[in-house]
Structure 1
Amino acid sequence: MEWKSVSFDWNQIRAFLATVDEGSFSAAARVLGLTQPTLGRQIAALEADLGVTLFERNGRRMDLTKSGLELVEQARAMLQAAGQISLTASGQSQSVEGEVSITATEAMMAYMLPPFVASIRQQAPGIEIRLVASDKVSDLTAREADIAIRHVQPEQPDLTAKKLGQTQARLYGAYRYLDQIGRPDTNQDLAGVDFIGQDHYLRSLRVLSGRGLKLDRANYKMISSSSVTLWEMVKAGLGLAVMTDDVAQRTPGVEAAFPDMEPFDVPVWLVTHRELHSSRRIRMVFDLLAEHFAKDTSYK
């Protein structure tokens, strides 16, 4: 079809692609850290600029129109090209002053990284650290972040990764809650035990049931999309939840529930784009992060 000639707003393109990938305005807004009305206005502005309708509402989902389908691959190519230009420019920067963005899970961001930020502020005060808390696997090639801390090994060939070690995850509860429920074991009926889950709690339920715990959906009385909120509820004595040992060991007043149950291995990878790795300030932060985790006895 024939498109109107316009100057694209990159925020509108990102809003469009996020809606395509997530399937709804609300989910796309969460991914981009926007309010739903703001994202909706960006989509409406893009449609007005192009003179076409890009989405049709189908219940809670936003389905692409024919015009929207035609735009998807072009928009992805444009965003990738823009990101590549930014990567090349950033990779050649040898200044130790400027911003370096780090993304990691929300729990790691809240409980593990503050000491690192304090350290780097002393060692390299000209570097500005921007922390992006996300439980999603961020796309470094799209410049969502300069450095990512991930729990899975990246497969993209243009990424540089260093394994920092691994921690473990297990069920934890506050002393007072475990006192209250009598510290049950894996063979007991757990009908009266409350569990706290994240949005993907059904996967956790299946995994824990596979380890021999007698659980069903009724055990999950509280659900949160935030791992920090989940952990605060555990600390408040509201139930049990899965958390990594590195966080739990820094939290007074909690202990492992079902200590005989085999823990889950959680690898920790430090990742950046190979072009960014040649940037002096990004390389410095990458290396200092690796040193920081190497000194941490909660990682094997």
Structure 2
Amino acid sequence: MNWQSITFDWNQARAFLVTAEEGSLSAAARALNLTQPTLSRQVAALEETLGVTLFERVSKSLVLTEAGVELAEHVRAMGEAASRVSLAASGQSQQIEGMVTISTTDILGIYLLPEILRNLRRKAPGIEIRIRCTNSLSDLRRREADIAIRHVEPDHPDLYARKLYDASAKVYGARSYLSRFGDSLSMKDAGAHDFIGFDDNPQLVGHLRAMGLPVTEANIKLSSPSGAVAWEYVRRGLGLGIMADEIAACCPELVPAFDDLTEVYFPVWLVTHRELHTSRRIRIVFDHLVEHLRHKQPHQPHEK
């Protein structure tokens, strides 16, 4: 469709844009200080004018149709310009408000994010942060989250991803556990030790064997799909566990279990939806995470 040949009612276009960014009529209505029925009528009027469906309802969220995605590209520039004018006129250009949901693992949520979020609260007190802790990949296209911290690169063109660094990891053990074996273990003896499992024990065994440790699933006597629970068991001396060095550094009671084990690396990605990346509040949170997560990594030997 040739959107340039169509004259938009700005109120309708703004209602559409904010609804696309917020993901629901109720959230958009709050953002625009309108009633939900009023906002709904404006979006419906725009759809009627254009003769297309702009949104599909998925669960409790609204997802842009193909026509909606195309239209959003043209309306967004109008919306950003209008937002700048509005913010400048009100003198509140730094008072950005709204909800931003971050999807991450429970381990990162506990050990790395608190100080980062404390600094963000000082920078942007009007932004409300919701942390969605999960060890599975949140579907950003269905608005399960606005931003995700992942260890795999997304492969969908609708997603914008930035690789932050390659995190190093080793096998760690509590001093209380290692003291029973002379404080230092040999890789060849790994099969005689207990390991704490996470969500996928066969996959964990594969990683450990790739590191040169002769272990099997029989070595995993205790596991939990919660990374935080499994890591706590390692801290309490119930077995050995693999963990990122930046997390282990937060736990002085833990030390590398094998002196002769080479560390491994895994990527850390920050991901958002391409449309959401143009939202002012999400851009602030995204850029803040990029700056502070990278800062926490002391060296990046595999950064490309």
Using structure 2 for the length normalisation, give the TM-score. 0.68
Q: CA deviation at 1:254?
A: 0.4
Q: CA deviation at 1:168?
A: 1.3
For 2:102 and 2:189, how far apart are their aligned partners in 1?
43
Partner of 1:269: 269
Equivalent residues of 1:293, 1:299 under 8 A apart: no
1:154-193 to 2 correspondences below 5 Å: 154-182=154-182, 183-188=184-189, 190-191=191-192, 193=193
Equivalent residues of 1:168, 1:265 under 8 A apart: yes
Equivalent residues of 2:104, 2:148 under 8 A apart: yes
Partner of 2:64: 84
Q: CA deviation at 1:286?
A: 0.6
Equivalent residues of 2:150, 2:271 under 8 A apart: yes
For 2:169 and 2:235, how far apart are their aligned partners in 1?
16
1:225–1:298 CA distance, 2 compared to 1 (3 A):
farther
CA RMSD of aligned residues (A): 2.4
1:166–1:299 CA distance, 2 compared to 1 (3 A):
farther
Partner of 1:210: 210
1:166–1:152 CA distance, 2 compared to 1 (3 A):
same
1:259–1:83 CA distance, 2 compared to 1 (3 A):
farther
Equivalent residues of 1:84, 1:141 under 8 A apart: no
For 1:283 and 1:216, how far apart are their aligned partners in 2?
44
Which stretch of the first structure deviates more once superposed, 229-238 or 91-100? 91-100
Partner of 1:257: 257
For 1:266 and 1:216, how far apart are their aligned partners in 2?
22
Q: CA deviation at 1:78?
A: 4.8
Partner of 2:222: 222
Cα deviation, 1:2-59, whole Å, max 9, x if unaligned, reads: xxxxxxxxxxxxxxxxxxxxxxxxxxxxxxxxxxxxxxxxxxxxxxxxxxxxxxxxxx
SS of aligned partner of 1:172: strand
| Largest Rg, 1 or 2 | 2
SS of aligned partner of 1:295: helix
Following TM superposition, the consecutive aligned residue runs of length 4 or more in structure 1 with deviations greater than 3 angstroms are 85-89, 91-95
Partner of 2:137: 137
Partner of 2:121: 121
For 1:120 and 1:275, how far apart are their aligned partners in 2?
22
For 2:298 and 2:136, how far apart are their aligned partners in 1?
23
Partner of 2:21: none
Partner of 1:65: none
Q: CA deviation at 1:216?
A: 2.2
Paired residue type of 1:178: L
Cα deviation, 1:126-147, whole Å, max 9, x if unaligned, reads: 0000000011111101000001
1:32-47 to 2 correspondences below 5 Å: none
Partner of 1:151: 151
Tell me the number of residue pairs that the alignment of Structure 1 and Structure 2 aligns: 222
Q: CA deviation at 1:299?
A: 5.3
Equivalent residues of 1:173, 1:254 under 8 A apart: yes
For 2:212 and 2:270, how far apart are their aligned partners in 1?
33
Cα deviation, 1:224-272, whole Å, max 9, x if unaligned, reads: 0110011111111111011111111111110111132222211111111
Please, which runs of 5 or more residues in structure 2 have no aligned partner? Answer: 1-55, 84-94
Equivalent residues of 2:211, 2:264 under 8 A apart: no
